[in-house]
Amino acid sequence: MVTGTQINVQLKSRMHFAKKYLRKRIWIAFRHADKAYLYPHDALLAQYLKVNPMRVNKAWRRPDGAVHWKKSDKGPSVALEAVRDQMDVELSRSGAADFE
């Protein structure tokens, strides 16, 4: 979606949530398999917390305060699919996209 609005994007090698990105209006971009993903960090984190709060809460106690998935596992696909239905409306409003 082209809106002419500038966004701050953090390029990552995998899906990623981090305490240091909270409330900074940052979008995360990463590639997984044959797709590239771009999502608003705080919005997707809020939805993921509804699906799997324990993983995030446990990770927040670590020194790096981050949650991410290894490239080789199904984490990003599973996590994105788990929240996709809930995020459809928010993603279309905010302009987040996944594209090939």
Average pLDDT over every residue of 69-95: 56
Mind listing the pLDDT tens digit for each residue in 18-71? 999 999 999 998 887 777 888 889 988 888 888 778 888 888 888 888 988 765
Is residue 80 within 8 A of residue 33, CB to CB? The reply is no
Residue 55 or residue 83, greater confidence: 55
* Cα–Cα dist 10/29, whole Å: 6
pLDDT at 79 over 50: yes
Position 74 scores a pLDDT of: 58
Convert the chain into a string of H (helix), E (strand) and C (coil): CCCCCCCEEEECCCCEEEHHHCCCCEEEEEEECCEEEEEEHHHHHHHHHHHCHHHHHHHHCCCCCEEECCCCCCHHHHHHHHHHHHHHHHHHHHCCEEEC
